[in-house]
Structure 1
Amino acid sequence: MDKPQLLAKANPPTWLKILVIILIGLGIFFRFAHLGQKTYCCDESWTSVAISGHTVAELKQEVSNHQGTIPITIFDKYQHINPDRGVVDTVNYLITSDPQHPPLYYVMVRLWAQVFGDSPTGVRSLSALISLLIFPSVYWLCLELFESPVVGWVAMGLIAVSPLQLFFAQEARQYSLWMVEILVSSAALLRAIRQEKKANWAVYFLTLVLGLYTHLFTVLVMIAHGIYVVIQQQFRFTKTLLNYLLVSIAAFLMLLPWLIVIVTHISTALELTSGFAVKRIDNPFELIAIFLIRVTRILFDLNLTSDIAVFNSLAVEGYLIYSIPALIFSLSLIIYLGYFFAKMPKNKTSLLIFLLGGFPGLLLIISDLIYGGTRSLQVRYQLPLYLSLEIIVAYVLVFQIFQEHNWHIKIPQFIIVGLFIAGLVSDARFFQAENWWTQSDGQFIKETGQVLNQSQRPLLVINDSPVNLGGILTLSHYLPKVRLLRVADDRLLPIAQDYSHIFFMQNNSSLFHQMEQDITYSLKVIQVLNPPPGGLWQFDKIKQT
């Protein structure tokens, strides 16, 4: 009997079941604990705008209608449910203001908030609840891939303590739901291929539709599925391939109404997504290195820094001490996995997990290398890859346990326990943190709030760009007394003399350049974000002697 058959027929040892059940229990605790502790980031603030039923156009109009300074409390109604507006208004927000995000999650969170509240804790609790569905989903996929309950148990353990999984479980966005749909659709496809029944293909169709209406990158998952089916059918036009094509086309046609929305509002979609195209890492080796470092964060993450900061010479020695071993570990892991699967007995279904992670991941990297941008470095876009890696690592470790020589068994057992411990250490760090490195704006919002709270009568200058308004929406949760001044780049506005501390979150406005030249003010740079012009600058009124 070969090793894959041993692996398939083996029952999970009792110690493993007990350990994984404990880890899942701890994972559930970490997912629901301190839901309101971390900074409510800009993306999450836009989620609150969506469920409020208001639109970005209304928000901009609200700002422009005020003459002189504006109390930040005017943003409150855009962060809470309006009882006079409903689910239709939430969908209207997405259509007019954020069309690149399909409506399924936002409809769900709107209905959820009506029952459990629209506070950060209430809104985030939906993501935490959805994240629990990842456990049965990954177990089912492991059974379909390898017919191995042991791999399923280890994969559930890794996901239970994965710091990356924990972060998305506490973010008021759609990514926990998308991960569930990636796993379930992949398992449903394997089931439909193995058992050619209409009911199985119907389940696969349903998962694709739900996935497409959660995240548009589900199209990449569908293409990876299609490549697998073509290879699995040995490039022949079979009934299985026909069924896949019919189901995929039908699912895509179901998305057609939202595709019309995107095309109709293409300028809005491009405006909101252009930031990742503007950001650029000129050295391709740096891009690949950062990508590889982030791979390790699915297993171990101490929240030391954003990896981009390391390569921008903004990191201190402690950050480099973390990043260099992470890069070496990631390279070693990828080389070993490639060597392992090149030598192991062929398993047709295992090809799917490589395509599921590899196709979207490589496509994003190649796109960045050719056209510029940092899409491949956004962890939320690489979730198919990260899920695949967790499953592959679980499979390789379990496979090694069933080596013929007994002393070999202990090594993968120690590695499994070590990975579980690394995940728990990361979770404990996450439990204590107020911000996580994946929230690129979280630390900035926190420091901005601290500086403004320490100032007497601060005035914050804003504009009506979506990025700037997103930051102000987030600050509105923490700065109830600050006054705002709207400024347009094409005209200069007078500032009342009773404001001695004036702050800018961007340094490219006409008023900013005017104040730079004003000898009655001194300029202090508080923080500069990458890429510019974002940051925080403070102008202090010079006392006349």
Structure 2
Amino acid sequence: MNQNLRLPPNWLRFLIIILLVLGVFFRFANLDGKVYSIEEAATSLRISGYTEQEIRQQIFNGKVISLKDLQRYQHLNPEKTLADTIKGLAIEEPQLPPLYYVMLRSWVQWFGDSITGIRSLSAVISLLVFPCLYWLCIELFGLPLVAWIAIALMAVSPFFMLYAQEARLYSLWTVIIPLTSAALLRAIRVKTIFSWVFYSLTLSLAFYTTVLSGLVAIGHGIYVVGTQGIRLSKTLSAYLIASIVGLLTFAPWIYVIVNYFYASYSATEWASLRKIPYVFVIVGFLSNIIRVFFDVPNKLLWQALPNTYQPIDVILGIISLPLFLSILFLVGYSIYFLCLKSPKRVWLFIVSLIAVNSLIFLLPDLFIGGIRAVIPRFQIPNYMCILLAVAYLLAIKISAVSNSFRQQQIGKIIMLALISCGVISCTISSQSNLWWNKYFNIDNIPIARIINQTQSPLVISDSGGSHYINILSLSHVLDPKVKFQLISKIEDLTKIPSISNSFSDLFLLNPSEILRERLEKEQKFKTNLVFDGSKINPWKSDLFLWKLE
């Protein structure tokens, strides 16, 4: 092994230390600043131990309640236990295994269930990706320089930074992926019983983190067969036993998924029902890759908060396209270079994971319809492997293995450019209260601004669709003076509850058309649209705010 590939040069060591410090800072900076999304509100609901059904029964009854009454379902309560959290997941969202939620509930019991307290667990967990990623690089490449460059890129990756600050399971999954992958490679290398037991344990943790880990396991299986052959060797036998044991430990939750299959299907069908042209699927899939290294505000966010960003953001927006194309070319060339220059046992591992995780989402979207492939969080294994491929390319190019001094300098320039893109992206997004991962809640701030500026507001809504989770999300940016009157499904009511006239302002939040019409007809209200979310983002189901007069 070339000595230059063993340890980073002094200038790179100094740079890596700076980037690690920045990476830690970005992960903990402004933790409570971003909008608390509907997915995060769902997380708080789960760890509170309450269920959607209880919310509909207890507060969608036509009575006026306070913000505190509503927030009850976003905080821990002594009447609910850890068993209620697991039960709620099982009967309403069985596609979400309980590991992260068990960890989070235990965490907030010690550190509080404020937004900062809840998100801080993801931030802390995200720091574990650095040793896990280093271990994976050593097992896969055997080159410490690749590992250090990968850590440098990960530290300021805007994509991984965003999920390190979100109260969802994806920060944990980001750690589990390199951990279980490194455990597999070590087990293949050392061939001890303990190493295979450890791999089985990490595989079990992966399954209990997210069912999407099954795709990682399939990628592992393709890699083992591809490197060991289909002959039942000791290594292949040990792998099969370890994988089966890991899967068997997940059997109790598999039973839950099967038993409550309809609930799981209902919670995830949105990704298959939404139809977009296949060209947009491909463009969206490719453009999401760029976010691993570069991510700046887009037009959607400018429209939502036009006063948030500085002129530099507009400049970055203008130069985004050539940067996107350059980074996309770099990613493609990195994978090509990896396959050309590295041994089969190296490139096959990365290609297997990328192929499985890409095709399983792309093919259904292209031939059946859906938006699975354009949901960035589903592609975390892909982005991890892409980052490794780029790190390998840069390590080879900046080392003495390169053919010329000129190539070394080009490699250094590209690496510094990628790092600069990451630092700039993280700096901007860490200080913003909205970003693309808060896609479904870009309306919260302008709606809250309208409601909060009134003296004594009452917000009226009904329980159609997923309105309840939108209201829970919105409640985190509303003032305590706001009151709510939440009505059950209008079709089931013969009479709509009377709307009190003791409030200074009456608002209808995303009402069903039936509710709005009946209020106009039966209680003689006039309704004026004061906020139209479709003008901000016409690509999704938006929030609308009406005022009653």
In the superposition, the TM-score normalised over structure 1's length comes to 0.91
Residues 138 and 155 of structure 1 are in contact (CA less than 8 Å); yes or no, is this contact kept in structure 2?
Answer: yes
Deviations 1:207-253 (A, max 9, x none): 00001001000000000000011110133222211111111111111
1:364 CA displacement: 0.8
What pairs up with 1:6-155 in 2 under 5 angstroms? Answer: 6=2, 10-64=6-60, 66-155=61-150
Which of 331, 341, 349 is residue 352 of structure 1 equivalent to?
A: 349
Change (3 A) 1:30 1:521: closer
Change (3 A) 1:20 1:320: closer
Structure 1 distance, partners of 2:82, 2:428, is 37
What pairs up with 1:475-514 in 2 under 5 angstroms? Answer: 475-479=474-478, 480-487=480-487, 488-490=489-491, 491=493, 493=496, 494-497=498-501, 501-506=505-510, 508-514=512-518
Task: Give 1:313's aligned residue.
Answer: none
Structure 2 distance, partners of 1:214, 1:229, is 23
The one-letter code of the counterpart of 2:280 is E
2:270 maps to 1:275? yes
Question: What is the aligned residue count?
Answer: 529
Residues 98 and 268 of structure 1 are in contact (CA less than 8 Å); yes or no, is this contact kept in structure 2?
Answer: yes
Task: Give 1:244's aligned residue.
Answer: 239
1:193 CA displacement: 0.8
Which of 523, 530, 533 is residue 529 of structure 2 equivalent to?
A: 523
Change (3 A) 1:138 1:338: closer
Single out whichever of 332-341 and 285-294 deviates more from structure 2.
332-341
1:404 CA displacement: 2.4
Single out whichever of 222-231 and 467-476 deviates more from structure 2.
467-476
The one-letter code of the counterpart of 1:211 is A
1:436 CA displacement: 1.5
Which of 313, 324, 338 is residue 321 of structure 2 equivalent to?
A: 324
Residues 145 and 190 of structure 1 are in contact (CA less than 8 Å); yes or no, is this contact kept in structure 2?
Answer: yes
Residues 508 and 548 of structure 2 are in contact (CA less than 8 Å); yes or no, is this contact kept in structure 1?
Answer: no
Structure 1 distance, partners of 2:234, 2:103, is 36
Structure 2 distance, partners of 1:88, 1:345, is 49
Structure 2 distance, partners of 1:52, 1:366, is 38
Residues 145 and 350 of structure 1 are in contact (CA less than 8 Å); yes or no, is this contact kept in structure 2?
Answer: no
What SS does structure 1 have at the residue aligned with 2:485?
strand
Single out whichever of 211-220 and 54-63 deviates more from structure 2.
54-63
The one-letter code of the counterpart of 2:514 is S
Deviations 1:430-477 (A, max 9, x none): 221112211113321112111211234433332335621111112222
The one-letter code of the counterpart of 1:482 is V
Structure 2 distance, partners of 1:150, 1:504, is 58
Task: Give 1:363's aligned residue.
Answer: 360
What SS does structure 1 have at the residue aligned with 2:430?
helix
1:124 CA displacement: 1.0
Single out whichever of 434-443 and 453-462 deviates more from structure 2.
453-462
Structure 2 distance, partners of 1:81, 1:69, is 23
Deviations 1:258-290 (A, max 9, x none): 111112222222222122223221x21111111
What pairs up with 1:351-500 in 2 under 5 angstroms? Answer: 351-401=348-398, 402-465=401-464, 467-479=466-478, 480-487=480-487, 488-490=489-491, 491=493, 493=496, 494-497=498-501
2:252 maps to 1:257? yes
1:173 CA displacement: 1.1
Single out whichever of 520-529 and 409-418 deviates more from structure 2.
520-529
Change (3 A) 1:514 1:57: closer
Change (3 A) 1:500 1:84: closer
Change (3 A) 1:474 1:385: same
Q: Give the RMSD, CA atoms, in angstroms.
A: 2.5
Single out whichever of 502-511 and 52-61 deviates more from structure 2.
502-511
Deviations 1:366-395 (A, max 9, x none): 121122221211111110011111111110
The one-letter code of the counterpart of 2:483 is R
2:298 maps to 1:299? no
Single out whichever of 505-514 and 128-137 deviates more from structure 2.
505-514
Residues 201 and 243 of structure 1 are in contact (CA less than 8 Å); yes or no, is this contact kept in structure 2?
Answer: yes
Structure 2 distance, partners of 1:7, 1:530, is 55
Deviations 1:493-539 (A, max 9, x none): 24345567544443543012446787844334432255565321323
What SS does structure 2 have at the residue aligned with 1:476?
helix
Single out whichever of 180-189 and 372-381 deviates more from structure 2.
372-381
Structure 1 distance, partners of 2:389, 2:128, is 20
What SS does structure 2 have at the residue aligned with 1:537?
strand
What SS does structure 1 have at the residue aligned with 2:419?
helix
What SS does structure 1 have at the residue aligned with 2:533?
strand
The one-letter code of the counterpart of 2:157 is S
Task: Give 2:309's aligned residue.
Answer: none
Structure 1 distance, partners of 2:62, 2:6, is 73
The one-letter code of the counterpart of 2:70 is F
Change (3 A) 1:473 1:521: closer
Percent identity between the two aligned chains: 37
1:328 CA displacement: 2.1
Gaps of 5+ in 1: 310-315
Q: Extract structure 1 runs of 4+ deviating beyond 4 A.
A: 316-320, 497-502, 514-519, 529-533
What SS does structure 2 have at the residue aligned with 1:213?
helix
2:224 maps to 1:229? yes
1:123 CA displacement: 1.1
